[in-house]
């Protein structure tokens, strides 16, 4: 008998998550531009997945590492399954765009025009745009196939590039043509020019096939890379609505301007995805900042993982591109529509189409935070739990602003993992340092895809006299914590903020995250010990309340699960509720299986990857897994353990993945205040009650919608939470109006 696997494959589980996002794009109950946004998100998600996860597996395969995953699949088998699923997913993406969204958007007044459908006035407009905004900027690159020397280039006119050190193998050579007035294509000797793959980034490019030169039969090719910052959607005049044409179609219309005297046989849009799984050897990095800059630069020239191209490409052109970027058939994706669907996100903000968007749900100020009193006063009165974006992140920014300007604040210590481009929190830290406060910022340079921004912030903070620490060697500092030390009449007081999300006021508007503000002595002492451990050489001491990965957090979670098992063995009620982004770690999954087999009821809300198989008799019949995909990104990590009636609640920065529990600095923070605990329990219950946007994970790895039973109330959890938060604000406002506060003369005591 075959034994059913105990786990789902991590990568295939992620692809099922992205499928649920695509399901939102196909849902006709959702406004059109919101559906387009979901489609763009699926493409952006898939880009990152390809760069990181597929890139990592490709490296393992190249190294001959065929160790099976928990499902028993080798690296090659995983890549085959992933490639097949991605090809099927691409078919669904373009069906959604071409057969569903674009016709509906056109009926609503938003039209993508093809070059063959332009009238004379529109052609004239597009031609003028091309001559003024495109032709002077783009540069064609002539290409041919030729061997590359293994020796560094010595020509002083040719800059040394990673390509000039390429090992001897067949590559495709490139040379730049004139910038403003292109001349006929002339291919120079290939030995002194960089290779094709290194010069093409992940933006869209055109591959042009030219007729063979006189007296030859070999086709010639040229590349027109668009670059990252080109305007993709070109507005076209129309009698009504909003009409646009894509840049690649505009360039194709006037392609002959780049190749005078040449016969153009075809042009095809294409795009490559590079491997972003480049690791820093920290033991060899004497200057971490400069080494991280090298990693960022190297990512722009890493190996190609995926080739996307228009499906009308001829076999010769396809084979040329495929050979040039060195990808197998499995990783060539022929698209029947526009490439880079993630770029369509920009269209969702088009003016004049409010009816095609969700009703606005602006963040509300927390009823616990009064604009008329200091946040230090509010926190001293009681712990404050905020749930963003329902409750505004402004309170967190305000806490840092107050700390920066308050003369009684002595020190601020802060972790920064991902921040916004114009971060007010970074500005507050700089201002605090300039006012003489002791400011420490732990800036994680290894936050993937935010390395460049964090490098710039680190340098900026250093110039402002902030003490900057680049995380911990060998680990990523993913914890979200801020410590403020303030002198008060009764002595020095510590205020802390812990979060499940980043210190980023932009993403806080769309990410559902929890924030805890407190001046608890225990949490303040733990915060101090935490910063001492990660900014110095001191060994982490035992904390009073919090737990930190990679030491202590995993053990605490296993201890809490084991406690529920023990309660159940003694015929007591036992329950575990966990809300996470991802559940991958085998040891944690096995612990949940053991709890299920002991009779513990387990309810999991997992937004993304889940490798646990729920509902399997004898293994996990007491475990249910659901996930919510809606207008806000579910990002909060909230944990509940019944614990014999002494309910334990935690918020955390960590998902249950090996990287979070073993290779990152993460925090698990208990929530002790009764009002905060009730709020968290209500959030969990509401999330689990969702029968509109929730999907249930089945034992076979597929998801099915959860629908309200006949006569039952429909519960869309995010809408319920938003309305509930609004009602709390209204109740607090009415209570304030009913309270009379006398105005006292200056100098009078209360």
C-alpha closest to that of 583 among 530, 534, 631, 620: 620
> What count of residues does the chain have?
750
Inform me whether the pLDDT recorded for 447 exceeds 70. no
Q: Decide: 450 and 421 in contact? Cβ < 8 Å.
A: no
| Residue 689 domain-assigned (yes or no) | yes
| Residue 357 domain-assigned (yes or no) | no
| Residue 745 domain-assigned (yes or no) | no
Please tell me whether residues 502 and 487 are part of one structural domain: yes
Distance CA 428, CA 435 (A): 10
Q: Which residues contact 5 (CB under 8 A, 6 or more apart)?
A: 70, 71, 72, 613
Q: Rounded to 5 degrees, what are φ and ψ at 448?
A: -55, 135
Tell me the Cα Rg of the chain: 29
Confidence band for 710, pLDDT divided at 50, 70 and 90: confident
Please tell me whether residues 141 and 170 are part of one structural domain: yes
Sign of CA dihedral 323, 326, 331, 334: negative
Distance CA 63, CA 147 (A): 24
The angle that helices 586-597 and 553-569 make with each other, rounded to 10 degrees, is 10
Inform me whether the pLDDT recorded for 128 exceeds 50. yes
Among the listed ranges 117-121, 185-189, 362-366, which one has the minimum average pLDDT value?
185-189
**Bridge partner list, 436:** none
Please tell me whether residues 29 and 72 are part of one structural domain: yes
Q: Rounded to 5 degrees, what are φ and ψ at 200?
A: -110, 125
Q: Decide: 614 and 601 in contact? Cβ < 8 Å.
A: no
| Residue 640 domain-assigned (yes or no) | yes
pLDDT at position 294, please? 53
3-state secondary structure at position 667: strand
Distance CA 721, CA 729 (A): 12
Confidence band for 507, pLDDT divided at 50, 70 and 90: very high
Please tell me whether residues 227 and 303 are part of one structural domain: yes
Confidence band for 609, pLDDT divided at 50, 70 and 90: very high
Report DSSP state, residue 46: H
Confidence band for 152, pLDDT divided at 50, 70 and 90: very low
Q: Please state the rounded mean pLDDT for residues 725-733.
A: 81
Query: Between 449 and 727, whose confidence is greater?
Result: 727
Final residue in a domain of this structure, among 91, 107, 123: 107
C-alpha closest to that of 689 among 624, 622, 620: 624
| Residue 748 domain-assigned (yes or no) | no
Confidence band for 442, pLDDT divided at 50, 70 and 90: very high
Average pLDDT taken over every residue of the chain: 87
Please tell me whether residues 49 and 188 are part of one structural domain: no
Look up the domain containing 82 and give its range: 10-107
| Residue 367 domain-assigned (yes or no) | no
Please tell me whether residues 98 and 116 are part of one structural domain: no
Distance CA 308, CA 339 (A): 7
Confidence band for 676, pLDDT divided at 50, 70 and 90: very high
| Beta pairing, strands 233-236 & 242-246 | antiparallel
Final residue in a domain of this structure, among 545, 569, 585: 545
Distance CA 476, CA 467 (A): 18
Among the listed ranges 326-330, 382-386, 565-569, which one has the minimum average pLDDT value?
326-330
Say if residue 745 is exposed, middle or buried (CB neighbours under 10 Å; 0-12, 13-18, 19+): exposed
| Residue 741 domain-assigned (yes or no) | no
The angle that helices 32-49 and 10-25 make with each other, rounded to 10 degrees, is 160
Final residue in a domain of this structure, among 503, 519, 545: 545
**Bridge partner list, 175:** 142
Active site residues: 478
3-state secondary structure at position 576: strand
Distance CA 303, CA 278 (A): 11
Confidence band for 284, pLDDT divided at 50, 70 and 90: very low
Please tell me whether residues 575 and 541 are part of one structural domain: no
Distance CA 622, CA 565 (A): 13
- The domain that holds 145 is classified in CATH as 3.30.1840.10
Report DSSP state, residue 48: H
CA angle 724, 729, 731 (to 5 degrees): 90
Distance CA 250, CA 244 (A): 11
CA angle 383, 469, 440 (to 5 degrees): 45
Q: Please state the rounded mean pLDDT for residues 187-213.
A: 65
Q: Decide: 172 and 196 in contact? Cβ < 8 Å.
A: yes
Inform me whether the pLDDT recorded for 286 exceeds 60. no
Q: Residue 171 has which token pair?
A: 């590559």
pLDDT at position 44, please? 94
Please tell me whether residues 453 and 567 are part of one structural domain: no
Please tell me whether residues 260 and 399 are part of one structural domain: no
Q: What percent of the chain has pLDDT over 70?
A: 85
Distance CA 585, CA 577 (A): 17
pLDDT at position 731, please? 79
Inform me whether the pLDDT recorded for 266 exceeds 60. yes
Distance CA 131, CA 121 (A): 16
pLDDT at position 535, please? 86
pLDDT digits (tens, 9 = 90+) for 536-590: 766 777 899 999 999 999 999 999 999 999 999 999 999 999 999 999 999 999 9
pLDDT digits (tens, 9 = 90+) for 449-463: 667 777 788 888 999
Helices (H), ranges, 130-267: 196-199, 247-253
Please tell me whether residues 73 and 208 are part of one structural domain: no
| Residue 649 domain-assigned (yes or no) | yes
Confidence band for 446, pLDDT divided at 50, 70 and 90: confident
Inform me whether the pLDDT recorded for 744 exceeds 90. no
Distance CA 411, CA 408 (A): 9
Q: Where are the beta strands (DSSP E) in 421-475?
A: 438-443, 467-469
Instruction: Tell me how many domains the chain contains.
Output: 4
Please tell me whether residues 460 and 538 are part of one structural domain: yes
Q: Decide: 512 and 519 in contact? Cβ < 8 Å.
A: no
Please tell me whether residues 319 and 453 are part of one structural domain: no
pLDDT at position 574, please? 98
- The domain that holds 68 is classified in CATH as 1.20.58.310
Q: Please state the rounded mean pLDDT for residues 693-710.
A: 92
Per-residue burial over 619-652, b = 16 or more CB atoms within 10 Å of its CB, e = otherwise = bbebbbbbbbbbbbbbbbbbbbbbbeeeebbbbb
Helices (H), ranges, 373-443: 375-381, 394-405, 424-434
**Where on the phi/psi map is residue 135: left (φ > 0), alpha (ψ -120 to 50), or beta?**
alpha
- The domain that holds 664 is classified in CATH as 3.30.870.10
pLDDT at position 737, please? 61
pLDDT at position 741, please? 59
Query: Between 154 and 52, whose confidence is greater?
Result: 52
């Amino acid at each position: 008998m075959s034994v059913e696997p105990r786990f789902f494959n991590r990568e295939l589980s992620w692809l099922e998550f992205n499928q649920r996002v695509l399901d939102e794009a196909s849902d006709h109950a959702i406004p059109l531009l919101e559906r387009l946004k979901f489609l763009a998100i699926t493409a952006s998600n898939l880009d990152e997945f390809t760069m990181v996860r597929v890139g990592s597996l490709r490296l393992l395969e190249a190294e001959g590492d065929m160790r099976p995953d928990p499902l028993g699949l080798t690296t090659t088998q995983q890549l085959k399954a992933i490639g097949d699923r991605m090809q099927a997913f691409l078919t669904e993406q373009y069906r959604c765009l071409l057969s569903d969204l674009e016709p509906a958007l056109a009926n609503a007044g938003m039209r993508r025009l093809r070059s063959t459908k332009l009238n004379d006035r529109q052609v004239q407009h597009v031609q003028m745009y091309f001559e003024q905004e495109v032709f002077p900027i783009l540069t064609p690159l002539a290409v041919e196939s030729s061997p590359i020397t293994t020796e560094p280039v010595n020509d002083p006119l040719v800059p040394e590039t990673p390509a000039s050190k390429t090992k001897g193998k067949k590559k495709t050579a490139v040379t730049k043509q004139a910038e403003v007035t292109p001349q006929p294509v002339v291919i120079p000797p290939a030995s002194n020019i960089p290779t094709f793959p290194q010069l093409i980034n992940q933006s869209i490019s055109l591959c042009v096939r030219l007729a063979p030169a006189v007296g030859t039969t070999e086709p010639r090719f040229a590349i027109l890379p668009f670059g990252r910052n080109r305007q993709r959607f070109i507005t076209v005049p129309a009698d009504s609505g909003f009409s646009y044409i894509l840049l690649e179609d505009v360039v194709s219309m006037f392609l002959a301007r780049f190749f005078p005297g040449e016969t153009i046989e075809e042009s095809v849009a294409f795009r490559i995805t590079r491997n972003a799984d480049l690791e820093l050897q920290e033991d060899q990095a004497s200057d971490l900042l400069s080494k991280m800059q090298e990693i960022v630069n190297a990512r722009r020239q890493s190996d190609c993982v995926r080739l996307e191209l228009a499906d009308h490409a001829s076999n010769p052109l396809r084979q040329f591109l495929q050979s040039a970027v060195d990808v197998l058939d499995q990783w060539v994706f022929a698209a029947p529509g526009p490439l880079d669907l993630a770029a369509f996100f920009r269209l969702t903000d088009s003016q004049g189409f409010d009816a095609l968007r969700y009703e606005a749900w602006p963040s509300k100020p927390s009823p616990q935070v009064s604009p008329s009193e200091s946040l230090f006063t509010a926190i001293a009165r009681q712990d404050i739990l905020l749930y963003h974006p329902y409750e505004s992140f402004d309170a967190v920014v305000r806490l840092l602003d107050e700390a920066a300007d308050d003369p009684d604040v002595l020190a601020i210590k802060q972790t920064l993992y991902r921040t916004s481009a114009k971060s007010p929190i970074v500005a507050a830290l700089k201002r605090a340092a300039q006012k003489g406060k002791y400011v420490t910022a732990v800036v994680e340079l290894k936050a993937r895809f935010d390395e460049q921004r964090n490098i710039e912030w680190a340098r900026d903070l250093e110039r402002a006299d902030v003490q900057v620490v680049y995380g911990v060697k060998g680990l990523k500092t993913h914890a979200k914590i801020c410590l403020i030390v303030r002198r008060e009449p009764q002595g020095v007081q510590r205020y802390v903020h812990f979060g499940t999300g980043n210190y980023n006021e932009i993403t806080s508007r769309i990410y559902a995250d929890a924030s805890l503000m407190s001046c608890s002595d225990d949490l303040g002492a733990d915060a101090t010990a935490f910063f001492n451990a990660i900014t110095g050489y001191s060994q982490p001491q035992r904390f009073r309340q919090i737990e930190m990965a990679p030491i202590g957090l995993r053990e605490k979670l296993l201890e809490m699960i084991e406690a529920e098992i023990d309660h159940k063995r003694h015929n007591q009620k036992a329950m575990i509720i966990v809300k996470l982004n991802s559940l991958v770690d085998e040891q944690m999954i096995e612990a949940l299986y053991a709890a299920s087999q002991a009779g513990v009821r387990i309810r999991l809300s997992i937004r993304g990857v889940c490798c646990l198989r729920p509902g399997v008799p004898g293994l996990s019949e007491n475990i249910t897994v659901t996930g919510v995909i809606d207008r806000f990104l579910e990002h909060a990590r909230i944990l509940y353990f019944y614990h014999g009636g002494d309910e334990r609640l935690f918020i955390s920065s960590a998902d249950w993945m090996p990287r979070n529990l073993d290779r990152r600095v993460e925090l698990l923070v208990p929530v002790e205040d009764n009002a905060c605990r009730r709020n968290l329990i209500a959030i969990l219950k509401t999330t689990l009650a969702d029968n509109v946007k929730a999907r249930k994970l089945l034992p076979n790895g597929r998801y099915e919608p959860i629908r309200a039973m006949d006569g039952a109330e429909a519960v869309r959890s995010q809408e319920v939470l938003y309305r509930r938060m609004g009602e709390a604000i209204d109740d607090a406002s009415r209570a304030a109006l009913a309270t009379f506060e006398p105005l006292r003369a200056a100098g009078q005591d209360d």
